[in-house]
Amino acid sequence: MTATQKSPGRIVFIIVNTIIMILVCIVCLLPMWHVLMASVSDPIALQKFKGLLMTPIGEPTHKGYLLVMQNPNIFTSYINTIIYVIVGTGLGATLTLIAGYILSRKTFRYRRVLMSMIVFTMLFRAGMIPQYLVVNALQLTDTRWAVILPSLLSVFNITIMRNAIEQLPASLEESARIDGAGDMLILFRIVAPLVKATFAVIVLFYAVARWNEWFNAMIYLTKRELFPLQLILREILIINQNTVTAGADISSGLDNYKELVQYATIIVATVPILCIYPFVQKHFVTGVMIGAVKG
């Protein structure tokens, strides 16, 4: 068998494999396609419809999106989520860079003590109620800090950062020290620019986790004006409390729009991310690979 001549078995394999790959793509895309089509369908026809939508049924309408746009909860919580993502990721990533730097300093006597202290929190967690009691005692409940602070740092990300900094050539730092540079200067002027790629990965990891977060917000917040998007989505999609249609007058017929609003909400909450991810995915690939190397 030469490289150019393929055996019949090989050809069958290639065909079957291609079909499997296409099926995987379809299965990954189909649910969102169904939601997209449903979100512009006729609400009454949609309620009676069973199965998977390939095209919108009934007269296409953008009424669902109008209702979502008019929902002040969605708008406010979108803004809140953006605040949580930016502040949480900014603080978290910066402290992770600092922690990575400290933990890679061989001259720092208590480096190992600090590392053990950090790793131990990954092994053993105090638990839900003790954590709640502390956040409560610190009087953080019902403030934005209750969402931002408890999940500020990730041991996994700190380890990735430490490994990246340890791999930098020692000579760079030595020559900076001879020139009289202190740790602050070395960290922010020399180390930081060199670990830019790893830093980007960590920013993405934190940002995705922040975007997804709802549980802490649920237990620490009662003020609706502080709720992140995911918590409002949970009300609309999971608990089925539709703030758009629930308060409406029955005679307005808005009740029929409940499903339509759910679908439109999913699109509004997901499309921004789905537009961004193909461009940042290569960073995730790098991140997963760094993470797979022993921490």
Partner 1 sequence: MKLISNIRNDYQKNRSIYWLCIPIVLYYLLFCYLPMGGIAVAFQKYSLGKGIFNSKFIGLQNFTNFFNSYYFWRLLRNTFLLSFNNLVIGFPIPIIFALLLNEVKNKNFKRTVQTVSYLPYFISVVVICGLIIDFTNANGPISQVLALFGMGNISLLGDPKYFRTVFVSSEIWQHMGYSSIVYLAALAGVDQALYEAAVIDGAGRWKQTLYITLPGISSTIIVMLILRVGTLFALGFEKVMLLYNPATYDTADIISTFVYRKGFEDYNFGFSTAVDLFNSVINCSLLLITNKLSRKFSDTSLF
Q: Looking only at residues 182 through 221 of this chain, which bind partner 1 when binding is defined by CB under 8 A? A: 182-184, 187, 208, 211-212, 214-215, 219
Asked if residue 108 binds partner 1 (CB under 8 A), the reply is yes
Q: Cα separation of 81 and 79, whole Å?
A: 5
Q: Cα separation of 57 and 199, whole Å?
A: 46
**DSSP H helical ranges for 179-257:** 183-185, 192-194, 196-212, 215-220, 229-233
CB of 256 or CB of 270, closer to partner 1: 270
Radius of gyration of the chain (CA): 25
Look up residue 259 and give its amino acid. Answer: E
Contact (Cβ atoms closer than 8 angstroms) between residue 182 and residue 263: no
CB of 116 to partner 1, least distance (A): 9
Applying CB under 8 A, the site for partner 1 has a residue count of 87
Asked if residue 95 binds partner 1 (CB under 8 A), the reply is yes
Asked if residue 58 binds partner 1 (CB under 8 A), the reply is no
Q: Cα separation of 295 and 286, whole Å?
A: 15
As given in the structure block, the two tokens for residue 184 are: 């602050």
Asked if residue 145 binds partner 1 (CB under 8 A), the reply is no
Q: Cα separation of 54 and 33, whole Å?
A: 7
The residue within the footprint of partner 1, chosen from 132, 176, 200, 255 (CB under 8 A), is 132
| Binding to partner 1 in span 254-283, by CB under 8 A | 262, 266, 269-270, 273-274, 277-278, 281
Asked if residue 139 binds partner 1 (CB under 8 A), the reply is no
Q: Cα separation of 99 and 102, whole Å?
A: 5
The residue within the footprint of partner 1, chosen from 11, 70, 121, 197 (CB under 8 A), is 121
Asked if residue 227 binds partner 1 (CB under 8 A), the reply is no
Asked if residue 110 binds partner 1 (CB under 8 A), the reply is yes
Contact (Cβ atoms closer than 8 angstroms) between residue 220 and residue 72: no
| Binding to partner 1 in span 63-92, by CB under 8 A | none
Asked if residue 289 binds partner 1 (CB under 8 A), the reply is yes
What DSSP character marks residue 195? T
Asked if residue 33 binds partner 1 (CB under 8 A), the reply is no
Q: CB 291: neighbour CB atoms within 10 A?
A: 16
Asked if residue 119 binds partner 1 (CB under 8 A), the reply is yes
Asked if residue 35 binds partner 1 (CB under 8 A), the reply is yes
Pick the stretch among 160-168, 172-180, 250-258, 286-294 that binds partner 1 (CB under 8 A): 286-294
The residue within the footprint of partner 1, chosen from 237, 243, 255, 283 (CB under 8 A), is 237
Asked if residue 8 binds partner 1 (CB under 8 A), the reply is no
CB of 238 to partner 1, least distance (A): 5
Q: How far is CA 33 from CA 53, 56, 245, in A?
A: 8, 10, 24
Q: What is the DSSP string of 228-239?
A: -HHHHHIIIIIS
Asked if residue 238 binds partner 1 (CB under 8 A), the reply is yes
